[in-house]
Amino acid sequence: MMAAAAMPATRDDPPRRPLRPVDWPVVVVPEILGAGQEEAVGEGADVGAGGGRPVVVGRGGAGQLGGADLGAEAGEVELLLLAEEPPLLLPRELLVHPLVLPLGQPARERPRPAPHPSGVFVGGGERSLVEMGEGERKRVLVVGGSGYLGQHLLSALAAGGGVDVAFTHHRETPPQALLHALPGLRAFRVDLRSGDGLHAVSESFGQPDVIVNCAAISVPRECETDPAAAMATNVPSSLVGWLLSFGNDSTLLIHLSTDQVYEGVKSFYKEEDETLPVNMYGKSKVAAEKFIIEQCSNYAILRSSIIYGPQTISPVAKSLPIQWMDSVLSQGQQVQFFNDEFRCPVYVKDMVDVVLSLTKSWLADGKAIQVLLNVGGPDRVSRLQMAETVADVRGYSHSIIKSVSASSVDRGVASPPDISMDITKLTQMLGIKPISFQDGVRATLAEEAST
């Protein structure tokens, strides 16, 4: 049986560099610790894996380790797993928060985000969210981190460093590829309809300084089919109730809303224009905005247009707009696109930039934030124009793009015709100028081609 040691143990053979001291007990399982893993262990220390519980460092197949081997009771072990693939090594009930650290991936080789088309590394070390100093590290929680925007945000937060980052997922298990690529992340299963799982976040991660709520039923047709589920998920009452339970104003809530709060009967909506959603998705988002404004001391509500960009580390199931257009157009068959529905699509890294900018400002000075912002790209485009841009970038003929009216198709849900947005407030307040749709399409397709 192996016992927890106060300091990291090393193998007797062959001589190795010492492990970096950490302030929590570590169990090293020598026979399964691969060669050259010391740096990775050090990096585990960096990500604050411990929280006072024993940590197991090792790798191996099922059956190699068990509770009896570790002399640990259920819930006592924090697992730091070094593995190429993340097999489950220990009985589930023993684990508190498995962390997966890929083999042979020391700190200097950690993935960095692709450069933003502006040439700036979004969330990179040079734009770290906080100045490193004395005192407790700041905590950022991404609710719905397993989704499309959530994963892009987590990549940027992890690359930026300087803060402890956790995320929530709703599916049974967190996306393994994400944990594998970003080993410092903490994952929690949370259901926003009931609030189940939030208590574990406060117990283990603590009160976040910033919560970014990306969780939603984000497909309008699904909201139309099940309005009760749409309201229960999209209006974050359990999340806000949990936030209020801390009894202070120390957390900023950044909440993702949508352009579909607008009716869609004019162009370039401003934030102060009336909200009059035409579908259940928009209604649930308006209800969420009202709830947050009434309940929260510090919030930023982001009314987002269509978010487009490269695929996520752990691919999302839903089809992504640019990739879908590219795929159907590449087949050379004629495809129909609506000529009378207008949006201001926003490149995902611009949206990430907006969230990071708000986060950084809150962490720097803690000045009260109560803001509602339209977040879109600079171009008002129809689906037809979007497809034409993809065709231009790819060199496809426009002859296969057929222009049709949205009224020619029944999609089972009402869709607002023109919800293009004025983003003057965004650019003035945060100094962020989202890139053009054409540049975003180029960047998206270039990044897809390189992976």
Ligand X SMILES: NC(=O)c1ccc[n+]([C@@H]2O[C@H](COP(=O)([O-])OP(=O)(O)OC[C@H]3O[C@@H](n4cnc5c(N)ncnc54)[C@H](OP(=O)(O)O)[C@@H]3O)[C@@H](O)[C@H]2O)c1
Asked whether position 307 contacts ligand X by CB under 6 A, the answer is yes
Q: Which region among 213-221, 325-333, 366-374, 427-435 touches ligand X (by CB under 6 A)?
A: 213-221
Cβ 175 to ligand X, closest distance in Å? 8
Of the pair 43, 259, the CB lying nearest ligand X is at: 259
Asked whether position 218 contacts ligand X by CB under 6 A, the answer is yes
Residues 6+ apart with CB under 8 A from 199: 242
> What CA–CA distance (Å, rounded) separates 175 from 154?
12
Q: Which region among 90-98, 304-312, 362-370, 411-419 touches ligand X (by CB under 6 A)?
A: 304-312
| Count of positions on this chain that bind ligand X (CB under 6 A) | 25
Report the site for ligand X in 178-197 (rule: CB under 6 A). 190-193
CB 101 within 8 A of CB 40: yes
When binding is defined by CB under 6 A, the residue of 44, 123, 144, 377 that contacts ligand X is 144
Asked whether position 251 contacts ligand X by CB under 6 A, the answer is no
Of the pair 53, 343, the CB lying nearest ligand X is at: 343
Of the pair 28, 143, the CB lying nearest ligand X is at: 143
> What CA–CA distance (Å, rounded) separates 24 from 307?
41
Of the pair 147, 434, the CB lying nearest ligand X is at: 147
Report the site for ligand X in 66-105 (rule: CB under 6 A). none
Calculate Rg over the CA atoms of the chain.
23
Asked whether position 150 contacts ligand X by CB under 6 A, the answer is yes
**Coil, strand or helix at 57:** strand
State how far Cα 314 lies from the chain centre.
Answer: 11
Asked whether position 256 contacts ligand X by CB under 6 A, the answer is yes
Angle of helix 383-394 relative to helix 321-330, nearest 10 degrees, comes to 60
Consecutive H or E run containing 101: strand 99-101
Asked whether position 215 contacts ligand X by CB under 6 A, the answer is yes
Q: Which region among 20-28, 73-81, 92-100, 211-219 touches ligand X (by CB under 6 A)?
A: 211-219
Asked whether position 306 contacts ligand X by CB under 6 A, the answer is yes
Q: Which long-range contacts (CB under 8 A, 24 or more apart) does 67-75 make?
A: 67/91, 67/94, 68/1, 69/1, 69/2, 70/1, 70/2, 70/4, 70/27, 70/94, 71/1, 71/2, 71/3, 71/4, 72/4
Asked whether position 147 contacts ligand X by CB under 6 A, the answer is yes
Q: At 407, which amino acid appears?
A: S
b/e for 182-208, b at 16 or more Cβ within 10 A?
A: bbbbbbbbbebbebebbeebeeebbbb
Consecutive H or E run containing 137: none
When binding is defined by CB under 6 A, the residue of 103, 287, 316, 406 that contacts ligand X is 316
Asked whether position 146 contacts ligand X by CB under 6 A, the answer is yes
Asked whether position 261 contacts ligand X by CB under 6 A, the answer is no
> What CA–CA distance (Å, rounded) separates 399 from 327?
16
Q: Which region among 25-33, 214-222, 268-276, 433-441 touches ligand X (by CB under 6 A)?
A: 214-222
Consecutive H or E run containing 231: helix 227-234
Of the pair 218, 298, the CB lying nearest ligand X is at: 218
Nearest residue (beta carbon) to ligand X = 147
Q: How far is CA 62 from CA 90, 102, 194, 284, 431, in A?
A: 7, 17, 33, 44, 52
When binding is defined by CB under 6 A, the residue of 149, 166, 344, 384 that contacts ligand X is 149
Cβ 18 to ligand X, closest distance in Å? 39
Residue 272 tokens, joined: 């102060």
Asked whether position 254 contacts ligand X by CB under 6 A, the answer is no
Asked whether position 304 contacts ligand X by CB under 6 A, the answer is yes
Cβ 6 to ligand X, closest distance in Å? 38
Unique residue bearing structure tokens 């007797």:
12
Asked whether position 38 contacts ligand X by CB under 6 A, the answer is no
Give me the residues that bind ligand X (CB under 6 A), please: 144, 146-150, 169-171, 190-193, 214-218, 233, 256, 258, 304, 306-307, 316
